[in-house]
A and B are shown apart, each in its own frame.
Chain A
Amino acid sequence: MTTTTPTVAVGTQQTDGPKTTAGRVRKRLNSRTATLVSIVIAVVWTIPTFGLFISSLRPEDEIKTTGWWTAFTKPQFTLENYQQVLFGRSSSSGQLASYFINSLAITIPSVLFPLAFASLAAYALAWINFRGRDWAYIAIFALQIVPLQMALVPLLKFFSTGVTVAGVTLMPAWDLVDEQKFAQVWFAHTCFALPFAVYLLHNFISQLPGDLMEAARVDGAGHPKIFRTIVLPLITPALAAIGIFQFLWVWNDLLVALIFAGGGDETAPLTVRLAEMAGTRGNEWQRLTAGAFVSIVVPLIVFLSLQRYFVRGLLAGSVKG
């Protein structure tokens, strides 16, 4: 990674800066202004989310007639909106609890499969000598740029009608119903995630010290054993970073779910339901605000508790190139 040692050095520069009093005052003012401005901007940045959160706790009548900022002068809070939107009886209420479970059922396998397959492939590309290795790597690398829009129509057809070449059925139609459609979504997400995951993991795995592998090989360990006992433990941080990435991506995805999961409460995730509610019940703010927050809260927790891994993965993926 490019961000290594010099981090500390920059920070200490400021103490032995300008020699004159005026210079020192200006310096301090500068840093104080910088602090102030950056905090103000950070607060402004957070206001929309904060407003949504406050609103989600207000009674329906209040949300619809007064701005959320009035809640500070005459506070009136309730959890009714969450109760309604999660477990409500009527079909218009959201029934988000169902969709929440769908989101979970979609996300967990969609994270595990690409992680496992990509680390296997990345290991082979980095440490097994075989003919055409460079070409295989370049091909997978290049696939990163294919927008997933390029795959949607044929992939959907593939699920619904199977593969038939010259009258011979190579693969029957999947014919999935209801919750079985999760499998389609897992499949699609796994395919779309692989190029990036292989690329990132290859970056990590290829930088492991070769002596380690050589020593293991001398001891008689084969590739599967080296992969399991040496490589996997060493790349855990990278796996965590990519795992968080993929988790956020799948949980927050709308397009893939819309096409491969359908819109019913048997399979559709939160995002699909929320987008639909925003379209058809655009003024039901008591439900939209609470619903949006329900969908936000899981990635927010994951993100805040694992931010370090996430940033590390981000930097490894983008700065390194």
Chain B
Amino acid sequence: MEFDFAEEQPKFLMLMYGLIAFVAVVGGLLLLLDVVPAWFARRREAQLVAASASGAPLPRRPKQREGLFALFFMLPTVLLLTIGLVVPAIRTTLLSLMDRDSNEWVGLANYSWMFSESSIIRVLTNSLIWVILVPLVATGFGLIYAVLVDKARFEAVAKSLIFLPMAISFVGASIIWKFVYAYRGDGDQIGLLNHIVVSLGGEPKQWLLESPLNTLLLIVIMIWIQAGFAMVVLSAAIKAIPGDIVEAARLDGVSPWQMFWQITMPTIRPALIVVVVTLSIATLKVFDIVRTATNGNYDTSVIANEMYNQAFRYGENGQGSALAVFLFILVIPIVIYQIRNLRQQREG
């Protein structure tokens, strides 16, 4: 089948419809907000003129229309969030208490399934490993690199290179790393990792098939992507440390080591917490990497991947929903922790 540009035309047409809809909705809303109040104002003016001409009592001042404006400004957002997020989230919670076809109530059966089925326990353990290792290593690396690069030349270039993977999709990153981990039964190794192993005198391995090592190798991909995020945020925080504090410490003869632990660390603590929290939440929801690299096989699956499999491949709506709810429950304490921290920060 030759690539034929004509066949692609319906897509551009659809895209154009989308753009027309955008202009119509947003422009229409703004126009409505402009024209209608102006019309009311004119009518009121006419009433006033008529009233003063005939000597009748002046009509009452209209009520504040602020609320009406707010309603229209908020309308698209509120509507979309209700249809697209709030109602579905409530329904998912209900579905998690029902059977696979959502016909009968089964109580907490889906949740007890989650904690008794050995394959799912494996999934939960994997997710735990992910959520411990990724934030810890990525933040640690980001912090060290931010401190290191602060004194280095070519700072901007070095930072850009570390930051670059942030722009690459998880799917693209997984393919990049699958290529690093590639294995060939005979002849030269084409994967960088096996090449290094062989040239050091080791035996080449099918890395992604070896549990539990494969989970760690997938975690490397996530760290590779996210370390740049940690580095950029922490680097900005380090640069924001007031110069006179650093100077005062230096005059007191503080060693670089002490400087790091007693000046840098306490000052950037809020940024550090934000990074860890953001990474933890992102890691809990990780899906693309596992799906692209191993499809969750060989004991590498995680919650989000299992949720997709249950709900959309096996048609197990109840069990899939239970996993989604569990994911939500895991996120809550992290967020509460962050909110509490923010509040302390504002008060202190």
Contacts and interface: CB of A to CB of B under 8 A. Distances in A.
B288 A275 contact: yes
A296 to B, nearest CB: 5
Nearest to A150: B89
Interface size class of chain A, counting residues whose CB lies under 8 Å from the partner chain: 35 or more
B196 to A, nearest CB: 10
Given A224-B30, A292-B176, A153 B8 contact: no
Interface string B15-38: 100110110001001100110010
B285 A275 contact: no
B236 A2 contact: yes
Given A14-B151, A113-B22, A255-B287, A130 B70 contact: yes
Contacts of B88: 150-155, 158
Interface stretch (A29-37, A72-80, A207-215, A233-241): A29-37
A120 interface: yes
B190 A102 contact: no
B153 interface: yes
A34 B168 contact: no
A292 B167 contact: no
A143 B81 contact: yes
B335 interface: yes
Interface in A242-267: 248, 251-255, 258-259, 266
A179 B14 contact: yes
B188 interface: yes
Interface string B66-100: 11011101101110110111111101110100000
Contacts of B150: 10, 34
Interface string B134-174: 00000000000100111111110110111111111111101
Given A105-B11, A149-B307, A271 B171 contact: yes
Contact of B37 (A153, A222, A315): A222
Nearest to B307: A149
A47 B92 contact: no
A81 interface: no
Interface string A262-278: 00001000010011001
Interface in A12-44: 12-14, 17, 30-31, 34-35, 37-39, 41-43
A168 interface: no
A254 B240 contact: no
Q: Which of A6, A147, A149, A318 has most B Cβ within 10 Å? A: A149
B332 interface: yes
Contacts of B217: none
Interface string A282-296: 100100110110011
A123 B73 contact: yes
Contacts of B13: 179
A50 to B, nearest CB: 10
A292 B175 contact: yes
Contacts of B12: 101, 105
Contacts of B77: 117-118, 120-121, 140, 194, 198
Given A136-B74, A178-B10, 16 more contacts: A7-B240, A13-B247, A35-B153, A35-B154, A42-B162, A89-B2, A91-B1, A102-B11, A105-B14, A118-B77, A131-B67, A191-B80, A195-B85, A307-B163, A315-B233, A319-B233
Interface of A: 2-4, 6-7, 9-10, 12-14, 17, 30-31, 34-35, 37-39, 41-43, 45-49, 51-52, 55, 63-69, 86-91, 95, 97-98, 101-102, 104-105, 108-109, 112-113, 116-118, 120-121, 123-125, 128-131, 133, 136, 140, 143, 145-155, 158, 178-180, 182-183, 186-188, 190-192, 194-195, 198, 222-225, 227-228, 248, 251-255, 258-259, 266, 271, 274-275, 278-279, 282, 285, 288-289, 291-292, 295-296, 299-300, 302-304, 307, 311, 314-315, 318-319, 321
